[in-house]
Amino acid sequence: MRKNISLLLLLLLLTSSISAIEISRIEPPSWWVGMKNTSLQIMLYGKELKGGRVTTKEKGIRIISVTYGDSDNYIFVEAEILPRLKPGEYSFTVTKENASTEFKYIFEKKGNGGKLTGKGFGPQDMVYLLMPDRFSNGDLSNDSHPDAIERAAYDKPYGRHGGDIKGIINSLDYLKNLGVTAIWSTPLLFDNESSASYHGYACADYYRIDPRFGSNELFKEYVNEAARRDIGIIMDMVPNHSGTAHWWYNDLPFNDWIHKFPKYTQSNFAMSSHADIHASAADNLRCITGWFDTSMPDMNLGNPLLLKYFIQNAVWWTEWAGLSGIRVDTYPYSDKYAVAEWISGILSEYPFMNIVGECWFSTPAEVAYWEGSAINKDGYSSKLPSVMDFPLQEAMGGALMQEGHPGWGEGMFRIYRSLSLDFVYTNPYSLLIFADNHDTNRISETLKGDVSKMKMMLAILATMRGTPQLYYGTEIMLKTKDGKLGHGEERLNMPSEGEFNSEQKEMADFTSKLFQWRKSSKAIHYGNMKHFWPNNNLYVYFREYADEKVMVIINNNTKPLELNWDLYKEAVNGSERGTDLFSGKEIITGALFNVMPQSAYIVSF
């Protein structure tokens, strides 16, 4: 009897020992068979995993290596996924001393993400940028959530206002009618900071949609619903920094997972130090290792396990949800070689994916350095397929506000000059162009709610070289009631279509007509551009492709001007006949044409 009791106690002790191994997180949570890159890194997080041995009986999975973190609670498993592996659920065993535990891992078939997965976006598209918290509230029940620290505060400029994925889904028909073919949303991943979490740029979980926006499954539904309307989804990704509320922040896998300092050290934001031949190494180091903000720890992409973590995260969301493209936040604040490797890792799986980088500089030469195809003197390539044209954005607002007869080099010449510097770019037609976004002042505030100027701006945005991006609410000239500027104040709640006033409806109809027309214009998508020196604040340029030619006329003068056809004879021949998009009137080259003040014409020949 005593012998049996002893055996029972031993069995209980072993059972207790077995249950001591706990795995609370597995990232990425699933993967696919048939991927081009057959190497998979699985991060396990649990209780005292260090020293554990990882095995699997599946012959289609070969474990290459196991790496333990500086923390006792992490294991990184490097596995090779062999071609023989079939979709299904497979078991791995973690053994440590006399204890072991088993975890299941699902492999799906590659290609289930949807028809637009990895298809990219470009000059043929119109990208609509929205902030989900401020766009549309489709589900009142998730405005606050028990897993989230910050609760809804509808009346606070920097509070949560309740917008969500359901609201975006409900608005997809409106966006399609507006001419949108791609949607870029500011981050939808969980941001669990205690204040100002609405913007989403301080991630708390790279594999979870913020529960106040919805769920991972709802996000996939959103991507699929958009694809049904031929709208691709661009995901905003932030490899440069996470949030202090991230689940790993208080138990980092490695001591060098983030950049640490004896006391808080912010980036000096000296992005130009990357290309500056005179820059000190100290300035560059401070730029790429300093924190972006007190709540945003700077990630060390020089750690190869972290770099692979981020590559796989981007691939996971692309494949799992069916993303068309990616926008990268604060690209030049990272180690430029490591972040370029991140881009390469994504493109190796999705070679047609467009990834646009936020490289916020005021001069074309600085922006051009970050083109992936740039031939830089230092040999650097960012690998980015596209970058954002901040110089043109700054020129547009300044140009349109200088009406009448401004001095030499002012007014519409600002736009002309910005475009005249396109020679520094390898491919200026790949740039993302915009008049405003979530980080700038609204263009409607810059142009002081002037309807005529807003229409001129939209006409330029729709016909200029590059891929146009429209910020939510710009199509209705959304602006603050009291003129107070700032991030929280200008990131306004978008009214529903039924709430538009007469002026907003006029602007929305104008925008819809403009961008619906743009969808079918190959000259705008693919045509070369020729522009002419702006005389009397009159800016004229042409886009031409095959047998289609488009003439754009922007009169930012306060007086009507007679068009002097002789100035444009190298772009038009004889008595060509065209039609103005807005008035529907026939325009005959060489004939008398009075261009009305503060107006735009788009003439198709």
- Catalytic positions: 329, 358
CA distance 506 to 501: 9
- First-to-final CA distance of the chain: 101
CA distance 13 to 304: 39
Helices (H) and strands (E) in the chain, counts: 16, 26
CA distance 499 to 480: 16
Q: What is the DSSP string of 169-235?
A: HHTHHHHHHHT--EEEES--EE---SSSGGG--S-SEEEEE-TTT--HHHHHHHHHHHHHTT-EEEE
- Are the C-beta atoms of 258 and 297 separated by less than 8 Å? yes
Residues with Cβ within 8 Å of residue 138, at least 6 apart in sequence = 164, 165, 166, 167, 168, 169, 170
CB atoms within 10 A of CB 100: 15
* Paired tokens of 522: 């190959």
Report residue 250 CA to chain centroid gap.
Answer: 28
Sign of the CA dihedral running 184, 190, 196, 202? negative
Helix axes 390-401, 451-463, angle to 10 degrees: 150
In terms of Cα–Cα distance, which of 348, 352, 316, 329 is closest to 116?
352
- Are the C-beta atoms of 301 and 334 separated by less than 8 Å? yes
Phi, psi of 379, deg, nearest 5: 80, 0
| 590: exposed, middle or buried (Cβ count in 10 Å: 0-12, 13-18, 19+) | middle
In one-letter notation, the amino acid at residue 528 is: N
CA distance 596 to 126: 28
Length of the chain (residues): 605
Q: What is the DSSP string of 461-484?
A: HHHSSSEEEEETTGGGT---SS--
- Are the C-beta atoms of 200 and 186 separated by less than 8 Å? yes
CA distance 584 to 244: 56
CA distance 554 to 566: 17
Residues with Cβ within 8 Å of residue 438, at least 6 apart in sequence = 129, 131, 186, 199, 471, 487, 491
